[in-house]
Structure 1
Amino acid sequence: MNMRPSGKATPISTKSTPSASSTSRPQASGAKSALPTAVNAKTYRKAKFILKKIAQNQEEGILNVRDTDDRKKYEAIVAAFDSSKAAKSRVEAGKTNKRNRSRDDTSNAPKRSKDASGVSQPVAQGPLKYSDIVKDHLSVALIDESSNCGKPVLEKWPEIEVRLSGLAMESTLANPEGPIPRFDSEEVIRGHRVIRCEDEFSKEFLRRSITEISDAWLGLKLKLIPAKDIPTRPRARIWLPNMRMDRAKLLQYIAIMNPRVPMTNWSVLKFEDVKAVSQPVLFLITEESAKVLEELGCRIHFGVRHAKVKIFRGREPDDDNEGEEPPPE
C-alpha cells in the first residue's frame, strides 16, 4: 500500500501497483478468505485501516484489481464486529432491565398488616446476620437480671414462650381490630434468646409482658435489653473427633474429662462443617474458663486425643476462617 501517494492519477491497470493491498494487508490467493468466526478488536482495527486506505487510493485514482475483493472482505469483517458488539450491548441491557425488574417487583412481597387507623405496619424479614440484629432497635434480648446471663433463660425458654404466647393471644382476641403484636424468637446470639419485634407496638407489648411474668420462676428474674447490649463473652472453637454428639452429654463429658476447667455457664453455639478428620464445635464460654484454657496451652482432653482449642474475644469467630483445621504441631 502507498503510505504516501504521489497525488497523480494513474489509469486502471492489471499490473501490480502500490495500493492498499501491497504490504499493509495479506496477499490474496484468488479465492475469498474465510472470515473468522469471532472478530477481535485487532482484526477490526486492521480492517478499518485498510478500508480507509482503499478509499483514499480511489479518490486519488490509485486503483488495484484486488481492491474490490478486499473491500468486500474487510467490510464484512467490520460489519461482523459491529453486529457482535450491538448484540452484546442488547444482552447487557436485558440483564440490567431484569435486575431492575427483580428489585422493583413487589408482587411476591409479604402483605403488611394494618393498625386500627389503616396504616401499614412493617413485616418481620428473614434471618439476619448478627451485625444486622445488633443494629436493629426492634431486636431485644431476654436475660436473667440476677446473673446477667442468658443460659437460665434458654433452659426455661419453652415455659417462658408458653406464657408469652398466652398473653399475646389474650390481647389479640380481646381487641382483634387493634394493633396485633408479632415477633420472631428463633435467634440465639452469644447464648442469649433474641426476640425481634415487628413494630414499636409489639416491642412495648413485650416489655409489659416480661414485666408481668419476670418473677414467675424461682431463682430467675427476666429482663429485656437491647440486642446491641448483649454481654460479650469469649467463645471457643474446639476440634473434636467426627462423631455424633448430643449437646448436653458433650458438655457433661468435657467437664468430667477436664475438671480444672470451670464449665458452669458453657453452652454449645454451633456444630460447624466437618473438616478432614475433625468436627469443629463452637462454644460460648466464660472469661474465667478462657484463662484456665490458656494456662493449659489451649488444649483439653477428649476421647483419645488432646483437642486443640482456639479462643475468641470481642469479635465473631465466623470472621476467622470458620472451621479451619488446627495448625500442625
Structure 2
Amino acid sequence: MAASLKDVAALAGVSVKTVSNVVNGYTYVAPSTREKVERALAELDYRPNLSARNLRQGRTGVVALALPELDAPYFAELSRFVIDAATERGWTVIIEQTDGRPERERQVLEGIREQRIDGLIFSPITVGRDELADRNDSTALVLLGERIVEGPTHHVAIDNQRAAKEVTEHLLSLGHTRIAAIGRQTSPNANTAHLRLAGYKEALASAGLAYDEALAPPTDSYHRRDGAEVMTRLLALNEPPQAVFCFNDLLALGAQRTALAQGLRIPKDVAVAGFDDIEDGRYSTPTLTTVSPDKEQLARVAVGMLEQQIYGSRHTGSRPLPREVTAAHRLLVRESTSGHGSACQLPGASVTSSPR
C-alpha cells in the first residue's frame, strides 16, 4: 500500500501537520526537522494524493490554455511546454482554440465552457484592457503575447521589437541594403506585427536607410501561402530585395519556396530570415535563420505565475500583484542567410521581471 502522511510522521518522529507543512513547501519548518521528514519521505517513497489535496483546497486541478490556432507550429510547441510544466504540478490542461475571434476571446475571459478551472493562460488577439477591466470571472489569469502590455494581470512575452531589430541588423551586417519585410498588418489589434515592424524600421534607420513601404506589403495572415504570395510580388519589383525578414517562420518557408521555384539561390541571390524557431525551419532546405523565443521559459514562467495566484491567496489573503516578465530570445543563424549554420546568443536572452 502507498505510504500515508501518518506513516511518514511516525518514521520521522514528528506530527502529521509537520509532514504536511514540508510536503506543501511551507518555509516555517526548522531545517533539522525538514531534513528528517525529507529522509522519511524518500525512504517510504511517499507520493501525495493530488486529487484529494485539490478537493481539500477547493481546487479542481484543471487549468486552461487558450490560443488563437492550434495548427500553427509555434502554438503547438508552446502548448507542449505548458502541459509539461502543469503536469509537474499534478494539473490537467484543457486547450481552447479561439481563432482570434472577438466573441470567442470574450467567452474565454468569462469562463471556459462553464467548466470550473483553477486558472487560465491566454494568448489574445482582439480583446484589450477594457475587456479585462469588465471581466466578471475571478479565475487566476496569465496573458501571453503582445496584445495587452502592462494590463491589470500577469503577463509574459519576449521583446519582439528588439528581436526584430536584431535579425534585421544581422541582414544588414551581411551587406544587404534592400531588405524587405513580410508580415506587416494594418489591423490595430496586430500588436505582434506592429512591434516587429517597429524593430525592422529601427534597424534600417540606425543604418541610415529609409523605410520603403513597397518593401513591406501588407499580409492578411501568417501562413505559408501568405509568405509565398507576398514573395511573388516582391520579386516582381523593378528592383527586388536582396534579403527578406519574415515575421514568422511559416511566412519564411512560403517565401523560400517561391524564391526557389523561380530559380533563385538562397542566400546568394536572396537571403531569408524568419521568427519563432519552429521545427520545420531546422529541416528545410536551406535551413532557416530565425529568432528563437525561449518557448519553454515562456511556458514555465506563465505556469509559475498561475500557481502563485492560485495558491498565494491561501497564505497572504490576496493574490500577488500583476507582473510583467520578459523572456529570453536568441538569433539562430543558419543556411538561409549565411550559407552555414551557427547560433548567435544575443544580449536580449535573459529574463527581466518588474512588478507593476
Could you say which TM-score interval applies, normalised by the shorter chain? under 0.3
Q: Which has the higher helix share?
A: 2
TM-score (ref. length: structure 1): 0.25
TM-score (ref. length: structure 2): 0.24
| Highest RCO, 1 vs 2 (Cα 8 Å, sep ≥ 6) | 2
